[in-house]
Structure 1
């Protein structure tokens, strides 16, 4: 059944119907207290573990709810979607469960791990089509396919039935709590999850303060809410790939305008720090978007003391090959990793002098590239140094100056940094 999106707001009965539709498909994921976070913030911090969902993210909820409500004719023709990640897996799972045909368009740059996951969930019911270098190119190809074939397009977030499926996350949270929830932190990409969960809370738990969280590099919802209309970003940082969109949905934006109390953005480096902390302490594997809600707690540490707080962990589809980059971004953000161009005198023992007199007892050289120049007095080296405490940085700089090493600090020169490191 089609619904008009003008003046649309998810109804309790439609969210409840979505929950019934999902009963044998989506897991009722745990809402569990995290002891470490609760002690750190002196609050009752509960994690809604959508990382433990059937396809390791909440996306199965919206995808299946939408597809299950298509007409018999639409189901026979099959469905099409565009996605580089979790939505693709949700659609693929749904196609196999309902035994219908699906075509999933993904950028040609999509990591093999994600393609394999989609193929695993969809099996023979799904055809993966790799095209273009970006999501936008893949979506354009998918939309053209729909026009030619008459197959139904399953949007990742801008659809009432997608939003109602995601809203079942909120229904489960309130089913599993006996105490009032003071704060709810939600990751925001296209806005489908925030619109769904936020709308349920506004109707059932209106006293809860709803905080939407985006990465610094893709603040599309924040900019849109500030402008009072959907605003497309010219460029985004794609690192937090599950929440990096240039343009939020018209429908999801309209609902979010009514339900989100505050939007905040989080540096990508802080997200990386939280991924590592939760993995090392609690063995929780999170993708970058899945860590957004937890990463926002630092900004509210005074406000949430003594409160009941829920953070939605939206997914765990993290390629292990990204862990080195995650660690690097975390160290840079925390001020524990520093890169320099150091001009070494071309004489024997210059590097030994640097190691003996410049490095502190706990400093470590983690990156070293040296080019010897035959016609110059000094040869440049790119050096990465990891320190144990942020405060150790000033001493490192001071010792380089005292010992006559000419250097250039790269962390503050992003263009040069990305070229050399």
Structure 2
């Protein structure tokens, strides 16, 4: 029974390598949600993840003979680093089997902790099978990332700290779930010590193995697993973790990619720390719970479970954040292909801010634009916007929930337009302030036909715009004089090779 974990958790001695992480108040998030939101900062561990707790606690339970033989794990993520550091601390030889596809930054991080890295196979399953083969051949002890009572107990020390750090009533704790080790440890402890506190498991929509198991009342293997939140991308909940979780969690909440990205931004705004997707998952679940249940005035805890993300993912995360907060609508709109149409469309949007605009000339009749528009974060404003545009005669398709549109089409709007004559291409930087884009259009629109337009608000001090205009040769000087008068930084890119190759 889950009660059997209480002594294990209380006996866990992990602070030779792990630290007691702070339970920080998320002031901005608390104000926004009208609840007291607390973040358990496991991203501040020496390996930037809670995984070090379970790995070290497991090593401490091994016999002298097992420690002498060495330990092994298959992992491409946080468990690998946690085990490597724990083994180094205890003077134990550790081998980590990682897929050949593992990014070099993760391989180097594990090596830097003193572990031997074996690259094998192209997938985690192939690496895992090879690790089991090495167990048989060399007598190594396999350290499971989550489905082991000692690992679960080590992760359970997170709950011990939370309840000691906040002795007053906590209404709910939200915990990310991959294989379930962290959630099982937390739920077992919390439900024994403070049974009135709810514990919610949070999973990505595309990797919800616990939800699937609870729905079927048995462990199942998901046919496909999304890998955006790679730290929780698990196809089947652990056997032992499922045994504990089915008796202790109060429910499972799922979050999509956009909601996870929004939570990453929320944590950054409150802490200036950037978590990995799995690290922000629990806050995404907390926000969803508050929105769906109308919760106010409660004390809610989210586990910021890790911060091992690749820097090159931040651009994608930023791109999806506004949609995750329901603060941006992505629309495909048909407008007349004639001078002044875009300016008229902007007027018809009223005071709403345009966050993105992609357009390339197609034919003489209609222009189909890909546009992002800032909306209120209540979900209803987007519907109101679409209805208003349709009432004004626009053909509108709402693509805010369209994955292909958000992942690909927004970057592919364009192509050669041989029917466009006398096209001049200009690149602009203008101040990112209300009215700047409209001022730009007032100066240019209606005088020369805009044949191409690309703009994306990135939250910087200056907006970057690429514009194509049909300008007869004799009017080029007039256009340049007009742009000089506008006062924005600009460059004539008509001869740019990128334009000539892809768009001209």
Deviation sequence 1:133-166 (CA, Å, 0-9, x none): x322322222222222221111110001100110
Residue 8 of structure 2 corresponds to residue 14 of structure 1:
yes
What is the deviation of 1:363?
Answer: 4.5
> How far, CA to CA, are the matches of 2:55 and 2:190 in structure 1?
21
Asked whether the equivalents of residues 2 and 188 of structure 2 are also in contact (C-alpha less than 8 Å), the reply is no
Distance in 1, Cα, partners of 2:252 & 2:398:
34
Q: CA 1:343 to 1:111, structure 2 compared with 1: closer, same or farther past 3 Å?
A: farther
The structure-2 alpha-carbon separation of the partners of 1:400 and 1:86, relative to structure 1 and needing over 3 Å to count, comes to: same
Contact 1:191/1:249 (8 A) holds in 2: yes
Out of 342, 345, 366, which is 1:358 matched to? 345
Counterparts of 1:233 and 1:259 in 2: how far apart (Å)?
A: 22
Gap change, CA 1:112 and 1:183, over 3 Å in 2 = same
Match of 2:220 in 1: 231
Find the counterpart in structure 1 of residue 111 from structure 2: 119
Give the Å deviation of 1:91: 1.0
Structure 2: how far apart are the matches of 1:183 and 1:149?
Answer: 45
Query: Among 383, 407, 417, which residue is 2:370 paired with?
Result: 383
Closer, same or farther: CA 379–111 of 1 in aligned 2, 3 Å: farther
Distance 1:249 1:342, change over 3 A: same
Q: Judge which range, 300-309 or 139-148, deviates more.
A: 300-309
Number of residue equivalences: 401
Bigger relative CO (Cα 8 Å, ≥ 6 apart): 1
**Structure 1 residues 116, 10: closer, same or farther in 2, change over 3 A?**
farther
The partner residue of 2:72 within 73, 80, 88 is 80
Contact persistence 1:10–1:164 (CA under 8 A): no
Distance 1:174 1:388 in 2: 39
**Counterpart contact for 2:26–2:270, Cα < 8 Å:** no
The secondary structure found in structure 1 opposite 2:253 is strand
| From 153, 157, 160, the counterpart of 1:164 | 153
Question: Residue 321 in 1 paired to residue 312 in 2?
Answer: yes
In structure 1, the residue matched to 2:192 is 203
Distance 2:333 2:47 in 1: 45
2:37 corresponds to 1:48: no
| Cα offsets for 1:382-402 (capped at 9, x unmatched) | 735353557478657866996
* 1:266/1:296 contact within 8 Å kept: yes
1:140 to 129, 133, 149: 129
Q: CA, structure 1 residues 399+186, in 2 after alignment: closer, same or farther (shift >3 Å)?
A: closer
In the alignment, the residues of structure 1 paired with residue 295 and residue 38 of structure 2 have an alpha-carbon distance, to the nearest angstrom, of: 12
Asked if residue 240 in structure 1 is aligned to residue 194 in structure 2, the reply is no
1:419 and 1:177, CA in 2 relative to 1: closer, same or farther beyond 3 A? closer
Offset at residue 65 of structure 1 (A): 0.9
Secondary structure, counterpart of 1:231 in structure 2: coil
Q: Are residues 232 and 116 of structure 1, via their aligned partners in 2, closer, same or farther at CA, if it must alter by over 3 Å?
A: same
Verify: 1:180 aligned to 2:169, yes or no. yes
Computed over aligned residues only, the root mean square deviation of the Cα atoms, in angstroms, reads: 3.0
2:156 & 2:401 partners in 1: Cα distance? 42
Give the match for residue 26 of structure 2. Answer: 34
Give the 3 Å change call, closer, same or farther, for CA 339–143 of structure 1 in structure 2: farther
1:248-267 matches, cutoff 5 A: 248-267=237-256
The equivalent residue for 1:94 is 86
Moved more, 230-239 or 134-143: 134-143
CA distance in 1, matches of 2:66, 2:343: 72
Name the TM-score, length of structure 1 as normaliser: 0.84
Residue-by-residue CA offset, 1:1-25 (whole Å, 9 max, x unaligned): xxxxxx675432221221x2x1211
User: Offset of 1:272 from its aligned partner?
Assistant: 0.9
Distance 2:26 2:55 in 1: 29
* 8 Å contact from structure 1 (residues 83, 105) kept in 2: yes
- Shift of the 331–248 alpha-carbon distance from structure 1 to 2, 3 Å rule, reads same
> CA deviation digits over 1:161-219, x for unaligned, max 9?
10011011111112222213221211111110111111111221122111111111111
Offset at residue 366 of structure 1 (A): 3.9
